[in-house]
Structure formats: structure tokens, C-alpha cells
């Protein structure tokens, strides 16, 4: 190991040394001068004499190095496709059953630039809400994940998607929860689906996205309680039944035979509405 023959001392006064450029900022540079060795410094110790302004400058230098690549704050992002912008067959391929939401959320949170995630998948929409370390990289990773899972090309997803960030993403979720983005204005089923998402997020999937959905549920409830948006037919199934009855002669509900196409959730809801209207004869085709 080589012997130490000299040391340096950092001083505030040396900042005005002629060796420094006149344009150099005294708060951002630290000067040095030769420091003679003695018994205490023979082991390679370096003595520093820093004024308070020099310490502040050093802290600034450290911060600039630490945050050089982390200037972009985490963002709330929604990557969405809905019946308003996307063919139904694509939505069906992208759909994620409720039972698979926790697994999907875990996979999304495992992506490099995703901190938190939530999935809102219904008949009419496929929306993924994330807290992303980087907007660009986060969107790219989520889109690639969607493509891999559904078999749909990334380019096709990008052709039909919508992207919203932070305030716009928050406002969109509030509108969805209130039924303002539904095919039938004021639809009540979507609020139940938003509540389902919140339930799936209870098992430690972060704080920002769960908090966002909690606020959205409150907004959805207030919209229905404080306005008349929930009056009349408030679901696609109830609207379909109401439309069907406009085609029937008055008082013929009990004698008419109703054909229901599809035995899924929507078909079951249609049957319930028909029964409530007094229908007793129904044929289901699946």
C-alpha cells in the first residue's frame, strides 16, 4: 500500500483563488490547498474546513446527482378502451373476469415502472388505472402486458385506446362511477363494479389507487342522491325492456312471448326486468 505523502484541506477562502474562473459560483465550488502531513494525518486522514454555505452547496450537488434521473414524479394514468371507441369483439378479448383481477393487479404491479394498479373490466369498458413512475414507460409496459394477455397487437390497442393522466384520469373515474360515461345515463350497475374494484384492492395493493376508487364511490353515490340522474331506466337491460314494451299493445305483457338472446349476466337482468313487468312467457336463446 503506498504511503500518504500529503493531504488537502477544503477551505472557503480558497474559492477566490486565481486558479478559478471569475464566472465560477462561490456557492457551488469547493477550493483545496496543500496540507502538511503530521502524525495524525500520516494515515491518510483529510481535514475539511467547510463553512455553512459550502455545506449547503455540497448538499445541492448531492441532490442534483441523486435526482438527475428521477425528475418525473409518479403519475396516475388510465389506459382505457370502451364501447365508445372500441369494437365489441376487441373488448371481449381484453376482458378480465372479476376472479382474475387480483392476479392481473399483481402482474401489473410487477412491471418495472408501475407502483400500483387497478383493473375495471365490464361489458362496455376495459380500463387499467396505474400509479406510474414514468408516464411513457409505464404506458408502454401496460400496453405490452395487455397485448400479451389478449393476443391483440399493440398497434391495434393504441388505435382504439384513450390515455388520461392525473387530474383528467381522476375526473374520468368519477364520471364513470356516476354513470356519466355509460351507454345509459346514470346506470347503477357501474357503481357496483367500481365497488368491486375497491374490494379487490383491500389486500395491500398500495394507497393512491385504492384511495382514488374510494373517492370515486363517494362521488357516484352523491351524483345519484343529489341529482335526478338515477331516475327512469338506469341500465342497458332495463332500457331494452322499456323499449320492447313500446312495441307491444297496451296490456299484452302477460300474453306476449318474449325472446331473450344470451344467457349471460345481461340476459339474466333482462329476464328479471321482464318478470317485474308481468311477463310469464319467455324463450332464452344462447
**Which residues are known catalytic residues?**
123
Residue 238: closest CA among 260, 280, 271: 271
Other beta carbons within 10 angstroms of residue 133's beta carbon come to 17
Q: CA 25 to CA 18: how far, in whole Å?
A: 14
Residue 111: closest CA among 69, 78, 146, 161: 146
Residue 81: closest CA among 150, 184, 174, 167: 150
Structure-block grid coordinates of residue 204: 395491500
**β partners of residue 283:** 259
**To which H or E segment does residue 59 belong?**
helix 52-66
DSSP assignment, residue 3? P
CA distances 79 to 104, 115, 121, 188, 213, Å, are 14, 15, 12, 23, 15
Q: CA 15 to CA 26: how far, in whole Å?
A: 6
Structure-block grid coordinates of residue 85: 371507441
Amino acid at each position: 500500500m503506498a504511503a500518504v505523502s500529503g493531504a488537502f484541506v477544503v477551505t472557503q477562502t480558497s474559492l477566490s483563488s486565481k486558479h478559478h474562473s471569475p464566472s465560477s459560483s462561490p456557492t457551488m465550488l469547493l477550493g483545496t490547498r496543500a496540507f502538511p502531513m503530521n502524525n495524525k494525518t500520516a494515515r491518510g486522514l483529510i481535514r475539511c474546513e467547510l463553512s455553512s454555505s459550502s455545506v449547503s452547496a455540497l448538499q445541492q450537488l448531492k441532490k442534483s446527482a441523486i435526482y438527475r434521473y428521477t425528475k418525473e414524479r409518479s403519475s396516475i394514468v388510465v389506459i382505457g378502451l370502451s364501447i365508445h371507441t372500441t369494437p365489441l369483439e376487441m373488448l371481449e378479448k381484453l376482458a378480465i373476469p372479476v376472479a382474475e383481477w387480483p392476479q392481473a393487479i399483481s402482474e401489473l404491479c410487477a412491471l418495472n415502472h408501475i407502483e400500483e394498479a387497478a383493473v375495471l373490466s365490464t361489458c362496455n369498458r376495459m380500463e387499467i388505472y396505474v400509479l406510474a413512475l414514468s408516464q411513457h414507460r409505464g404506458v408502454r409496459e401496460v400496453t405490452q402486458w395487455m397485448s400479451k394477455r389478449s393476443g391483440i397487437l399493440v398497434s391495434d390497442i393504441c388505435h382504439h385506446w384513450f390515455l388520461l393522466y392525473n387530474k383528467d384520469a381522476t375526473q374520468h373515474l368519477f364520471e364513470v362511477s356516476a354513470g356519466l360515461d355509460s351507454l345509459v345515463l346514470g346506470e347503477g350497475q357501474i357503481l357496483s363494479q367500481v365497488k368491486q374494484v375497491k374490494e379487490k384492492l383491500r389486500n395491500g395493493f398500495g394507497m393512491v389507487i385504492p384511495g382514488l376508487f374510494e373517492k370515486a364511490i363517494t362521488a357516484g353515490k352523491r351524483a345519484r342522491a343529489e341529482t335526478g340522474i338515477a331516475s327512469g331506466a338506469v341500465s342497458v337491460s332495463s332500457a331494452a325492456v322499456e323499449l320492447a314494451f313500446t312495441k307491444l299493445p297496451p296490456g299484452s305483457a302477460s300474453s306476449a312471448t318474449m325472446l331473450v338472446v344470451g344467457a349471460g349476466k345481461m340476459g339474466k337482468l333482462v329476464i328479471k326486468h321482464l318478470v317485474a313487468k308481468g311477463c310469464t312467457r319467455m324463450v332464452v336463446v344462447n
